[in-house]
Amino acid sequence: MTFRKYLVLAGVTVFAAAGDSMLSHGMKQTGSISIQHLQSVILAVLNPWVAVGIVLLLAFFASYMNALSWADLTYVLPATSLGYVLLALVAKFALHEQISLMRWLGIVLISGGVGFVAGGEALTSHGHQGGSPLAKRGNDGASEADMASVISSGVER
């Protein structure tokens, strides 16, 4: 794990938490949506909170995809669930909301789960399939030259 990879995981966490909270704030202003009034979906997108929330969720998606390119899904999901803890702490210290004992317990459980997964390796899927990443890449139809450059970049590192 390099510093840049930790930065990507932090990006997934922060963008998801910020995007979700802005979206939920905006949706509370626009009210509920039903099948009978589909045009209300378009109105919801025009709300500035919803719009900024969507932009942040796009940033989340880019860093999420980045993380999934070098780590397992079962590693990325728990590692980035700290966003829930982040939201609770923002609610406590920025919005001065009361946090119940149950919520503190939830924060402890999530943090414990993150600690568990962070101690293990990030990528297991290739080894488990019995083939190297290169062999897998070859099956997906990448060119020989491409594979050669993968090998050489591997050697450089």
Least spacing, CB of residue 35 vs another protein, in Å: 7
Q: Is 51 exposed, middle or buried (0-12, 13-18, 19+ CB in 10 A)?
A: middle
Q: Are 12 and 64 in contact (CB under 8 A)?
A: yes
For residue 48, the minimal CB distance to another protein (Å) is 18
Choice between 96 and 141, CB closer to another protein:
141
Binding site for another protein (CB under 8 A): 4-5, 24, 27, 32-35, 41, 64-66, 68-70, 72-75, 77-78, 81, 84, 88, 100, 102-103, 105-114, 116-117, 119-120, 124-129, 133, 136-137, 140, 149-150, 153
Helix 39-46 vs helix 3-30: angle between axes, to the nearest 10 degrees? 120
Cα separation, 56 vs 25, whole angstroms = 14
> CA dihedral in degrees (151, 134, 11, 57; nearest 10)?
130
What SS3 state is found at 152? helix
Q: Which is nearer to another protein, 14 or 21 (CB)?
A: 21
In degrees, to the nearest 5, what angle opens at C-alpha 117 toward C-alphas 11 and 65? Answer: 35
Nearer to another protein by C-beta: 14 or 72? 72
Residue 49 C-beta: closest distance to another protein, Å: 15
Length of the chain: 157
Query: Measured from the CB atom, is 14 or 84 closer to another protein?
Result: 84
Q: Which is nearer to another protein, 96 or 101 (CB)?
A: 101
Q: Give min distance, CB of 10 to another protein, in A.
A: 15
